Amino acid sequence: MTRRSFPFLLLFVVGLVATGCTVGPNYQRPETPIPAAYRGAEPEGAPAPPGTFADLAWWQLFGDPDLQALIRQALAANYDLRVAVTRILQAQAQLTAIGADQYPRLDAQANAPYTGYVGGSRPETTSAQNFAPAAGLTFGWELDLWGKFRRATEAAQAQLLASQDVRDGVVISLVAQVSQAYFTLRSLDLDLEISKRTVVSRQQSRELVQARLDGGVAGILDLQQAETLLYGATKTIPDIQRQIEQTENFISILLGKNPGPIPRGRSLEQRLGPPALPPGLPVELLARRPDVRQAEQQLVAANAQIGVAKAQLYPQVGISGFAGVTGFITSGLNYGPLGVLNVLPFVNLPIFNAGGLLAGVDLAEAQTQEAILRYQQTVQQAFREVADALVEVRKRREFREQQVLLTKTLGDASEVARLRYEGGVSSYLEVLDTERQFFQAELDLTLARRDELSAIVQLYKALGGGWQAEPAASSPAGGRAEGTKAATAP
């Protein structure tokens, strides 16, 4: 090692040692009030033990093979999910680009400047022609003395994790959307079956009334009332068929394909039961819900930007240079080839910028405060959604149970009213009233079953379940990269 190269190597070593200094605050999770238990959990008011049915993957929760197949198609082809995946790729590229600023830059360079003078007079010391080709490597490195590039990389890493959380959020929303739309479709199928069955029954009643009218036993009003019942049922069929086709179109779009028929699986009566496990501890929600994790990663990124802004207040130290070969051709005389080494250390110290750099720090700090508030708001909203979903599941179940009793009672009353009419004990008006109530009760029961299933799905979503990928799945809905979950766990 020559004495001439010693200062350069010394500067290099000093730069490596000094890169351990990082300005700006290190991230700490903000204080957020967390309840001891979810409101509405059973038993009410008691802390729920660990474990939740949200830990079940979607293919374990939904036992219908046809529904599972639809969800798999959606996870493979849905456009919203594919857009979310491309944003992860963008964030990965951004992280790589920002992280590269921490390291020296080395480029190959070649140039061949030529200067020639024509006409006029020139000093005798000036050659008529100059040609100086050169080729070599240029290098440059701004030492990260204050952690500017490390903080920028930290922010980019957090944005990458946030983009993965966005993808996970799209997955759970997609699973919920497909499931709820499928339950709606199956409820409409059941409505159509009930309506067709009712139409057949009422056609038979109309024929009976017509026969009684022909025999002089019934009046024309009885026939008109029987036709009123018949047409009240027939008019529901085209409306239900319209809703079925539109729901199929909606599911098709979720699956990333053009509108078309949707395969059916289990009937609505083969329903999911209520969650068998408690909904878990509220603190688990912070690591399970993608929107909460996303809000925290955005806070991490904003906090890191404070360090980037503060680093701008300190001197910027770096080195640049050129190493290669050159030569000269001057007035026909050749000189070279020659080796050339050009090293230029630099220090840039901000002195006056009209408060622009300090304003950048204030901006980063204010953006961090906003991110803190948004994170706390997201956590609070998550607890509210779980509480809403818990009471929704419980009360929908109770409503459905009462609707079952009401439907059975009205069915019995309808049968009794028809027998009384056939026996000449009562008028057809009694049949009209009970038949109308029974038909509506059957439709309402179908709706109650659908709403209970949808409430279970909503609770599953509110608890943050459903975004995990199937084992060995190759769909774009695959889970986070190795280590990502640990980085966001509380």
DSSP for 240-284 reads: HHHHHHHHHHHHHHHTTS-S------S-TTSPPPPPSS----GGG
- Cis bond upstream, residue 35 (ω within 30): no
| Lowest-confidence region among 68-82, 101-115, 271-285 | 271-285
Q: Give, in degrees to the nearest 5, the angle at Cα 426 between 420 and 431.
A: 70
Q: State residue 259's pLDDT score.
A: 94
| pLDDT over 60 (residue 425) | yes
Per-residue pLDDT tens for 258-267? 999 999 887 7
Q: Which CATH class is domain 105-143+316-349?
A: mainly beta
Q: What's domain 33-103+146-315+358-488's superfamily in CATH?
A: Outer membrane efflux proteins (OEP) (1.20.1600.10)
Helices (H) and strands (E) in the chain, counts: 12, 6
- Per-residue confidence band for 484, with pLDDT thresholds at 50, 70 and 90: very low
Q: Give, in degrees to the nearest 5, the angle at Cα 209 between 208 and 211.
A: 65
| Lowest-confidence region among 116-130, 236-250, 458-472 | 116-130
Determine how β-strand 129-131 pairs with β-strand 134-143: unpaired
Closest CA to 230 of 211, 258, 208: 208
What is the percent of the chain with per-residue pLDDT over 90, rounded to a whole number?
Answer: 52
0.85 exceeded by the pTM? no
Q: State residue 1's pLDDT score.
A: 45
Alpha helices per DSSP H over 312-427 = 356-422
Q: State residue 78's pLDDT score.
A: 94
Cα–Cα distance, 266 to 423 (Å, whole number): 41
Q: What is the mean pLDDT of residues 460-472?
A: 74
What is the percent of the chain with per-residue pLDDT over 70, rounded to a whole number?
Answer: 82
Cα–Cα distance, 437 to 433 (Å, whole number): 6
The phi-psi region of residue 447 (left if phi > 0; otherwise alpha if psi is between -120 and 50; otherwise beta) is alpha
Domain ranges of the chain: 33-103+146-315+358-488, 105-143+316-349
Cα–Cα distance, 431 to 201 (Å, whole number): 13
Q: State residue 118's pLDDT score.
A: 66
Question: Could you check whether 33-103+146-315+358-488 and 105-143+316-349 share the same CATH topology?
Answer: no
Cα–Cα distance, 293 to 291 (Å, whole number): 5
Closest CA to 409 of 434, 446, 444, 436: 434
Q: How far apart are the first and last CA of the chain?
A: 52
**Residue 69 CB contacts under 8 Å (≥ 6 apart), including other chains:** 263
| pLDDT over 60 (residue 354) | yes
Q: Retrieve residue 375's tokens.
A: 């994170």
Per-residue pLDDT tens for 117-162? 666 555 555 556 778 888 999 999 998 889 999 999 999 999 999 9
Burial class (CB in 10 A: 0-12, 13-18, 19+), 352: exposed
Q: Coil, strand or helix: which one is 347?
A: strand
